Amino acid sequence: MSKARGEMAAATPYFIVSDFAATARFYTEQLGFEVSYATPASQPFYGRFVRDGVAVMLRAADPGVTPTPNAVQQADALWDAYVYCPDPDALHAELSARGAACGPLEDTGYGIRKFEVADPDGYVLCFARLLDA
């Protein structure tokens, strides 16, 4: 008897951030995410932000804790999140118009069209699609 295979629908990165309010503004104003949950209401330190089928969770760092993007830990670990998008060119234009410091659009040697954006703590989000898709 074979077991049914469970389905996965999405992954949500969870970032520890140095300034919750500033990072929340970055995700909402520059990347177009909406706040789906934040607590406590008066001065949030944790929240979930969504846009289309993508979500990001943010939590303020405890005292003495430094946010650590992947590339800080290992230089060739370039991204902290890979976000599939069917039209990187249109998204690049939109986010640039919102004031996000987007990296250049490029077709890579490993088969994707992509651009990158770093958040205030240096977490790098790669927005991309496969070139053959």
pLDDT digits (tens, 9 = 90+) for 87-108: 999 999 999 999 999 999 999 9
CB atoms within 10 A of CB 53: 9
Question: What's the mean pLDDT in 74-89?
Answer: 95
CATH of span 14-63+76-130: 3.10.180.10
Give the pLDDT of residue 4.
84
Contact criterion met (CB below 8 Å) for 48 and 37: yes
> Cβ contacts of residue 57 below 8 Å, gap of 6+?
12, 13, 14, 15, 46, 47, 48, 49
Contact criterion met (CB below 8 Å) for 18 and 120: yes
Residue 72 to residue 101: CA distance in whole angstroms: 20
The answer, yes or no, to whether residue 1 has pLDDT greater than 90, is no
pTM: 0.92
